[in-house]
Each structure stands twice: as structure tokens, then as C-alpha cells.
Structure 1
């Protein structure tokens, strides 16, 4: 079947599928839209002044590691020593923004990549706004690396350029994250290319798993929060392109080709479980039952909650299937299933805190020594 025929069939069924799945009309697509900022198109915040060391259980910058701007960076308005950096990507032929919080102490060479969701913005990574990653790791000796942008990318190398609002852009996020960004981070922040963890939610969770699977020399630990761990499962060939089209109004088949193409299998964590068995993993999913962060006070809030229930149900099912595949042989994965919780940032913020204390700091030996 030709690509054009597939695209025509996709377009013909788009409205019906969208209505059934609740993914159109501004609903959250693979990322909860309860936070008003995500995808709103608001202007980027102005650069913040240089922060000062404050007492938050101790000196946040005992060695002056954080109080020094690196090349191409300004202090970010989210504070907590975060720098907003412009990193040149030869593969994408443009600068890519990255928010970086340097390790607390000099000599700390561990890094933690935090990947965003499908509706990733172009001005900040949601881990610094819809969650509080910069506060969670404030006193730890690990550098937070938070790429900005990359909506619908699945942080992969696309087969064809993406058309975003009439602009054709190369999408080569796998190349950027594994070949280009590590060089910059080593030169400017002292992050070792071989001493990193990676975490992500939803789209970013699936991508984190695949990047860890394919680059074990770079990533020593991976955390997946509400990820889609089996994108080749029945129904996902429709749901994923639908969610992508809702966000970008672009051709979703420019990513991995038409459904059933080999590239879909290459980006499926369940089908690549053997590559992940020797890597410490922290994997979570909610029950799709509304919990403490789900108290809608408007019709839109009710709509968003309903969509969050659907999306988390899909994540829960694929995570269980992934666990069954992993457990077919020895592995180093920890699975944590919340008794409540839909597809939302409040839960992912909690998940990140749990992953930090239960696995990330231990695996990365990223505790501060004073």
C-alpha cells in the first residue's frame, strides 16, 4: 500500500477516531493538558539574573560550580541555578535550547536527561514548570539536562523533515542527544558522555527506554513514567499518529514511515526488551482512576480528566505487557503501579522523586559529599 493511500485513509478516519478517543479540540495528547502553560504559545520568559547561594538544607553552590555561566547560556527564569543554553546541532542545522542545572559540587560528572512529552514547548522543558525537577535535585551532585522543544518527535531521527506551520525542519533528536549534545555537556559542564541516566514521561518515557536500549554506553539507568511501551500493539498504529496530528497538523508518517514499517518495531521498547535487561529501570504507571491531583472545577477540566483516564489506561496496559516481557528472563527493572492517578504532571513529579530516592542517586553515585 502506498504512502499516499495510507495518508488518505488516515485523514478519512481522523474525525471519527478523534471523537472516540477524545484527543481533539484541545484535549491532551499523550501528555496531560491540565497545566495551562503546556502548548499555549506564550512567549519565553526573560533571562533571569544570576542567582545567589541560599540556605536550602545547606549551601546550594559550595564550590561555585553553579554560579558560572557557560558558553551560549543565560540564567533561566525558573531559578535554582538553571541555565538556558543554545546548543548547535549540525544534524538539524539550527540551535537547540537546553535547560541545564549544573551538579552541586565540582567534579560531579553524572548527568540526568529529562525528556518532555508530546506537546513539548519551544521555550521551556515542562519538567521545570509543570513539575519541579530543579528543586528535587537541588542538593544532589548530578547535572540535569532538559532539552527544549521536539514536539511529537519521540526524540528519534525522522525519516523525512517535519512540516511545522509551513517550515520544513530536520528532526534528528536521537543524533542530537547521543552524539552532539554530549560533546557540549562535557566541554561546558563536565558531564561524562558515559555516566548518564535518562527519564521521561509519556512520549518521553518510551523514548528514554529506547535511547537507553540502543546506547547503554551512555545511559546507565532509565526511568519511564506513564510511557507507551508497545507502540506496535493493536490500536496504537492509529492512536499515536492521531495524537501527533492533533498536536502538529503535520504528517505523522514522516517519523517512522507507515504503520507496520520496520522503524516502528525498532522504536518499540517491548520488542527490544532484551537490550534493557541489564540496565536498572524504574517504571511507573497509574491506575487510570482519578486521584489527589484530579479535582476538575470546570467543564474543560472534566474533559481533560476524562482524556487523562483514557491515556493512562493505554499506558498502564502497555506497561504491564512490557513487564511480562521483561520478566521472561532476569532483569534489573523495578515496576511501581499507583493505585490512583491519570495522565498528569502531579503524578509524574511524584514519580521523579521516587525514582531519585529509590534508584537514580544510587546507580549514578550522585550524592553530594558535603
Structure 2
């Protein structure tokens, strides 16, 4: 008769398996490990443009904003359950041939600045994690800028893919760079008053890498970029295999539909370290933890211990790539600020803190988005 494994033995085996998987596959560019995958929207012809929304009969969730700019729904939008005057909007993407959901919190006083917040590798199709796993809508509640939080895009690196990909039976033609830089800005300007040339962009993990690459390639749109625990050198030794394996673990799809085989030009075109020359004169705020569990890491179960171990490995990889990027960009004068926490792993509580720091250090001053009171 086989003797049942003890809890300690099971934990040792889980940690050993986790180390191998994380070092080679699943975690290299992951966001929150708890994300579920929801069914994407269906393909089809664009719907008729929605009529401008009238003022709601009821006040927005959370009550009326005395400034007035947040009290009415824009075209294609409904009130989001997260409150804080956030609207969930359907925006048609011609390049992707589908509606894209975008969570938007209008500026406090009709300001023209925007902040794009990008999600992690396991981005959901029902909300952007910045509104649930962090509290971005509360962090900027009284500020005069519009929060722009695109929904969806798991494993996409928010880039234009070379060919469509099948994810869970749905065919996606990922063209996220085109959507974020060519299609969405016009909608934001017409409905929320966001100027196309007065924006910041921020992201965590996969979204942090994407934020830096997009800022480098679209300097006319983004004036500041924040990267939290990002992977700043996708073409580094080992990453050619680690990133595709991590993507496949999440989506069970063809990862080379994104940038092509290892060494293809699109890999370098989306590598922040190789784009450093384009980022030296833009304010940057970059953070990484030490990979030592900190104040938010108090696991109280075997699963929590395993998740903490995952976060340690992920943050160690992120810190190494952030240091490599710092060494490259510091070769010449630049406007980048690096914050290395003495503790902290790959996790949302730390990124929430990072966003609050970036808000005061760079985002609001760069965009001139302080509220009047």
C-alpha cells in the first residue's frame, strides 16, 4: 500500500516544480497569477455608431461629482461597478475587427491629459486589473487627468502581431499598438476631451515592457512613462525561449505569431533596452523589488507559499533586466528615475504603491494635471 505524502513533502515537490517552470516558462512576464480567462468578444461588422448618451436619470455609482464633468455617460459607455465615476466603454477597432472594452475615469475638471494603464500577461476580458487588484481609480480620484484602462490583450505585449492567433477557440488579430496609438486617441478626444499629445503611459510586468516600447515609438503621444517590475530586454540571452514558453503556458497559442521566430526584427523593435536612445529625453519612472518577501507577503497556506515563491523568482528576473536597462540608458544624460525597493516580490500591492509614487514624482507634474483644489 502506498503511503500518503505528507504536507511538507507535497510542498517540497511543488516548489521544485515551480522553480523549473518559472525559470523556463510560465512566469517570465506574468501579471497576476489568479486571473481567469473569459470569452473574448465576437468578430463581425462594426455596429452602428451609438448615439451620444443623455445625462443619466440616476446619479453615477458613488454619487454626483460636484465638478460635473464626470456625471454623464459618453457614447458607447455604461457605469462601471467599480464606482469612482469610472465608465466602461465599447470602442470599435477596425484593425482588430472587434469592439474593445476600455475603462475610463474622466478628468476631475475637464482636463485634457490622459494616463494609459496597461495590464499584465494574464489580462482579463472583463476588466483591467488596475481597477480591481490595485486602486488606480481612487489614486487619481481628485486629479485633473483621464484614466484610460484598456481591457483584454492577454499575452499580447500590446503590440501589432504578425498574424492572427487562436486562443481558446477564438481567433484574435492582435493589433494593440495600432488601437492604442491610432484608433483610441480620436475617441478619447471626442468623448472625454483627452488631447492626443498630452498623455502618460504605465504598466506592470508585460505591460511595463509594452509601455516603454510604445513611449519610445510614439513620442508625439506619450510625454512620460512608468514601468513597474517590467522586463526591459526581451532579446536578452534566454528570453527568446522564456517569453514564448510563458505565453504558451497562458494561452496555449502560437507565440511566434507575435514577433516571429527568435531574432526576427520585430523582437528588437519592441525591446525597450534597444530603444533606449529614444527614451533618454522623456521622464521615466522605473521600479523593481528586491525579490525578498516584504510587508504584503505573509502566506498562510501551502498555495500562498507557492505563490510567494513564484513572485520571488519573477521579481528577481525583473530586477535584473531593469538594472541592465539602467546601465544602458545611463551611458548618456537622461530623465529616468529608478527606485529599487529593499523588499518586495512580483505582486499588485507593490505596484499599487509604485503608481502612487509615480503619480506625485512625474505623472501629474509632466502632464500639468493637478486639480485646482
Residues 269 and 293 of structure 1, relative CA distance in 2, 3 Å threshold: same
1:354 maps to what in 2?
357
**Structure 2: stretches of 5+ with no match in the other structure:** 1-15, 42-57
1:30 maps to what in 2?
29
1: CA distance, partners of 2:268 / 2:29: 19
Correspondence 1:168 to 2:168: no
2: CA distance, partners of 1:50 / 1:344: 35
Q: Residue 246 of structure 1: CA displacement?
A: 0.7
Q: TM-score, normalised by structure 1?
A: 0.88
Correspondence 1:264 to 2:267: yes
2: CA distance, partners of 1:155 / 1:129: 20
Preserved contact between residue 37 and residue 125 of structure 2 (Cα < 8 Å)? no
2: CA distance, partners of 1:359 / 1:89: 31
2: CA distance, partners of 1:183 / 1:361: 22
1:180 maps to what in 2?
183
1:119-140, CA deviations, whole angstroms, 9 ceiling, x for partnerless residues? 0000000000000000000000
Residues 154 and 232 of structure 1, relative CA distance in 2, 3 Å threshold: same
2:85 maps to what in 1?
81
Correspondence 1:51 to 2:80: no
2: CA distance, partners of 1:40 / 1:271: 32
1: CA distance, partners of 2:239 / 2:184: 31
Preserved contact between residue 205 and residue 224 of structure 1 (Cα < 8 Å)? yes
Report matched runs for 1:193-212 at 5 Å. 193-212=196-215
Report matched runs for 1:294-305 at 5 Å. 294-305=297-308
Which one of 276, 279, 284 corresponds to residue 282 of structure 2?
Answer: 279
1: CA distance, partners of 2:93 / 2:100: 7
Q: CA RMSD in A?
A: 2.2
After the TM superposition, which of the residue ranges 275-284 and 235-244 deviates more from structure 2?
A: 235-244
Corresponding residue SS for 2:103: strand
Corresponding residue SS for 2:180: helix
1:104 maps to what in 2?
108
1:91 maps to what in 2?
95
2: CA distance, partners of 1:24 / 1:345: 23
Corresponding residue SS for 1:84: strand
1: CA distance, partners of 2:65 / 2:204: 29
1:141-175, CA deviations, whole angstroms, 9 ceiling, x for partnerless residues? 00000000000000000001011112221000000
Correspondence 1:69 to 2:73: yes
Correspondence 1:229 to 2:237: no
Preserved contact between residue 61 and residue 83 of structure 2 (Cα < 8 Å)? no
1:277-318, CA deviations, whole angstroms, 9 ceiling, x for partnerless residues? 010000000111111111111111111111111111110000
Aligned residues, how many?
Answer: 342
**Structure 1: stretches of 5+ with no match in the other structure:** 1-15, 55-59
Corresponding residue SS for 2:226: strand
Residues 76 and 17 of structure 1, relative CA distance in 2, 3 Å threshold: same
2: CA distance, partners of 1:126 / 1:293: 18
Preserved contact between residue 98 and residue 148 of structure 1 (Cα < 8 Å)? yes
Preserved contact between residue 18 and residue 310 of structure 2 (Cα < 8 Å)? no
Corresponding residue SS for 2:356: helix
Q: Residue 21 of structure 1: CA displacement?
A: 3.0
Preserved contact between residue 308 and residue 344 of structure 1 (Cα < 8 Å)? yes
Preserved contact between residue 157 and residue 209 of structure 2 (Cα < 8 Å)? yes
Preserved contact between residue 202 and residue 227 of structure 1 (Cα < 8 Å)? yes
1: CA distance, partners of 2:65 / 2:83: 13
Q: TM-score, normalised by structure 2?
A: 0.88
Residues 211 and 235 of structure 1, relative CA distance in 2, 3 Å threshold: same
Correspondence 1:250 to 2:259: no
Corresponding residue SS for 1:329: coil
